[in-house]
Structure 1
């Protein structure tokens, strides 16, 4: 249980004003729930695979769903960002694309020869983007799908605009 992620007392104190007031005694402590939600999301696990140290997986999912629907996580992020007085936001985002080797079959007329699509090779591609606080792309970089993510991020670091 030592390899589990736990929020510190300082972190919980910063998050406490954004947490909803409990109308009854909660079955699972907020620290356990928030730590479990962060652990699940950062490791890409299913709710069912949550370590038992965080409490029942059903409790983690139910609290995550209820707080998401009420906008509590959005208020947390907005409130934490406002405390630091951030003037601008810059994000690095990456996504996988399926790219076809050739697109020449797009203009084939009915009855004409068309290549066998089953034999056509598809290539994974990663597209990295620096986006501003409106979500608009500022800079783009593309790599092959099997290239590690830090290579694309490193290529974009020099183009990051100054914020603050």
Structure 2
């Protein structure tokens, strides 16, 4: 991570130790403690918070995550074999999860500056502010995510908690960009998308057909009954591969990994871009844990 972090050549002063600050950010993400309650071993809490806020705004965390994905793709033997043989199907899994917002996450001033988001974690605030919305449980924020088959987050968008899953289907897929080593465009079109019944709609299936992407999306009973009631006018049922659909549990496992971090399970950040920075930091940890091999396996 060190080459991807800002250096100490800034005029006007020197950066504090990056390792100490990053450890403080990870401690807060894992425990969810208020910034002012950070242990003294991480230095002044104002320094840790300001570094996390700044790197969430300028896309530093997202840059680290993208480079980690590139390295993982380049050194994964399964991916290398797939590039040589062209027989492996690249599939993604889509789902959403609601994060209960703490009372301290509400009340952000409206006139505060909003830095533009970069990469994963773009804001989607058509019917809410700072990705907070009302639901049965109170204030919630929803994370719409894509994961690979190894339960690693690839891309996500945040929205207010009452936002439906189906309208966010196309925006989430449009934001998928997986870069590679060397020249060439980033991969933005998977071979297959797996989703639950919430994403079964005519518009979503037409969107996938236009892009040449296979769909493995369960169809709810009411849509199936409506098609049968229309007879010949209802058309043919959409293809559905049960074997492929069983692999959709990867996105559920990805959510479980993510919500082991209390700052993700509960949103404590007033600003949406800071919460997206917390999501990026925890995604980096998930990718690192999956990429680093045990000494026995490496031997």
**What is the TM-score when the length of structure 1 is the normalising length?**
0.50
Query: Larger RCO: Structure 1 or Structure 2 (Cα < 8 Å, ≥ 6 residues apart)?
Result: 2
The answer for the alignment partner of 1:81 in structure 2 is 69
Tell whether 2:249 aligns with 1:160.
Answer: yes
Instruction: For structure 1, list consecutive stretches of 5 or more residues without a partner in the other structure.
Output: 1-14, 98-121, 142-155
Instruction: Give 1:32's match in structure 2, choosing from 10, 13, 20.
Output: 20
User: In the TM superposition, what whole-angstrom CA distance separates every residue of 1:51-107 from its partner, at most 9, and x where no partner exists?
Assistant: 11100000101111222222111101111111111766546642168xxxxxxxxxx
| Higher helix proportion (structure 1 or 2) | 2
Structure number with greater Rg is 1
Contact 2:24 2:38 in 1 (8 A): yes
Rate the CA distance shift 1:21–1:129 in 2: closer, same or farther, 3 A: closer
The answer for the alignment partner of 2:46 in structure 1 is 58
Equivalent pairs counted in the alignment come to 109
3-state SS of 1:84 partner: helix
Instruction: Give 1:95's match in structure 2, choosing from 94, 98, 101.
Output: 98
Contact 1:33 1:60 in 2 (8 A): yes
In the TM superposition, residue 47 of structure 1 has moved relative to its aligned partner by 1.0
The answer for the alignment partner of 2:196 in structure 1 is 139
**What is the TM-score when the length of structure 2 is the normalising length?**
0.30
Hey, what's the Cα distance between the residues in 2 that align with 1:159 and 1:36? 34
Hey, what's the Cα distance between the residues in 2 that align with 1:123 and 1:28? 43
Rate the CA distance shift 1:88–1:28 in 2: closer, same or farther, 3 A: farther
Instruction: For structure 2, list consecutive stretches of 5 or more residues without a partner in the other structure.
Output: 74-78, 80-89, 101-134, 147-153, 157-168, 170-193, 199-244, 252-299
Hey, what's the Cα distance between the residues in 2 that align with 1:43 and 1:32? 16
Rate the CA distance shift 1:76–1:90 in 2: closer, same or farther, 3 A: farther
User: In the TM superposition, what whole-angstrom CA distance separates every residue of 1:118-157 from its partner, at most 9, and x where no partner exists?
Assistant: xxxx9659xx99843565382269xxxxxxxxxxxxxx98
Out of 21-30 and 63-72, give the one that drifted further: 21-30
Contact 1:129 1:138 in 2 (8 A): no
Tell whether 2:5 aligns with 1:19.
Answer: yes
Rate the CA distance shift 1:65–1:92 in 2: closer, same or farther, 3 A: same
Contact 1:47 1:57 in 2 (8 A): yes
In the TM superposition, residue 37 of structure 1 has moved relative to its aligned partner by 0.4
Hey, what's the Cα distance between the residues in 2 that align with 1:129 and 1:157? 22
Rate the CA distance shift 1:49–1:160 in 2: closer, same or farther, 3 A: same
In the TM superposition, residue 49 of structure 1 has moved relative to its aligned partner by 1.2
